[in-house]
Amino acid sequence: RDEMYPVVETFDEVSNPVFLIERAASSLLGVLEYGVHINGIVLPENGNVMDRKNAKMWMARRAKTKSKFPGYLDHIVAGGQPAGLSLIENVVKECLEEAGIPPELTKKGIQPAGAISYESYGGKFKDDGEGVMSRVVLFCFDLILPNDFVPTAHDGEVDYFFQWEMRDIAKSMDPKYEDPIKPNCYPVIIDFLIRSGCISPDSPKYLDVLRTLRSGSCM
């Protein structure tokens, strides 16, 4: 990992953390983890920024050599929020490292889109009461990319990128979908589908879903 995370009570304190820990140890201590997830969006040919239903989303296929969720589908760019960087600085850095997106392109097309939060208990020994507690806040961003731009894998963490239409994205949210996505991407994508109008407020359990998207310690 070689990435230091700030240990804080709230995100407002990240510039003055209690102490720093190695990223891989954060869930062992149950401290709040922060990260950024980017929805890579290609607008329809009409260029209407409000027409997200007919947009496409760039997705990534994780490398089979990854220690976690090898071969799974993933966001075009996602990463933890390390100590010493602002959110937008981290977004620019991750976009360049993970997808070869030039900083000027990221700065031009990036749009902050709120945050989601969740808590989960897991690990190999969770049934013995010795699992790990993940307490996560993910800052969501929509990145509008030109139609002729193609991301490229730079850091060996991705096998390839591809585009999905919104109807394909919606289908992939089915728990029985045969090609799973990395788990922490689901709430970010669902949040996007709600914001873009792809999920109707008349849908069953709509308000329950809204509450669940921010069910963790969003501090």
Q: Provide CB contacts within 8 A for 188, sequence distance 6+.
A: 37, 39, 75, 116, 138, 140
**pLDDT score for 49:** 67
| Residue appearing with tokens 């993933």 | 74
Q: How far apart are CA 151 and CA 17, in angstroms?
A: 34
Q: How far apart are CA 137 and CA 11, in angstroms?
A: 9
Q: Provide CB contacts within 8 A for 184, sequence distance 6+.
A: 35, 37, 78, 118, 136, 138
Task: Output the six-digit token pair for 87.
Answer: 């959110």
Counting beta carbons within 10 angstroms of the beta carbon of residue 141, is it exposed (0 to 12), middle (13 to 18) or buried (19 or more)? buried
Note whether 197 and 52 are within 8 A (CB): yes
pLDDT tens digits, residue range 183-212?
A: 999 999 999 999 999 999 999 999 999 999
Pairing of strands 77-80, 110-122: unpaired
Backbone phi, psi, residue 9, to 5°: -85, -35
94, 101, 92: which is closest to 78 by C-alpha?
94
Note whether 137 and 127 are within 8 A (CB): no
Counting beta carbons within 10 angstroms of the beta carbon of residue 176, is it exposed (0 to 12), middle (13 to 18) or buried (19 or more)? exposed
Q: How far apart are CA 39 and CA 76, in angstroms?
A: 7
- What averages of pLDDT result for each successive group of 10 residues across the chain (219 residues)? 84 89 84 95 80 90 93 96 94 96 98 94 72 89 96 90 94 94 96 93 95 85
Strand partners, 80: 35
**pLDDT score for 213:** 96
**pLDDT score for 218:** 72
Which 3 state secondary structure label does DSSP give 25? helix
**pLDDT score for 74:** 97
**pLDDT score for 77:** 97
Strand partners, 111: 142
pLDDT tens digits, residue range 82-95?
A: 989 999 999 999 99
Note whether 123 and 24 are within 8 A (CB): no
**pLDDT score for 52:** 79
6, 27, 30: which is closest to 18 by C-alpha?
6
**pLDDT score for 129:** 67
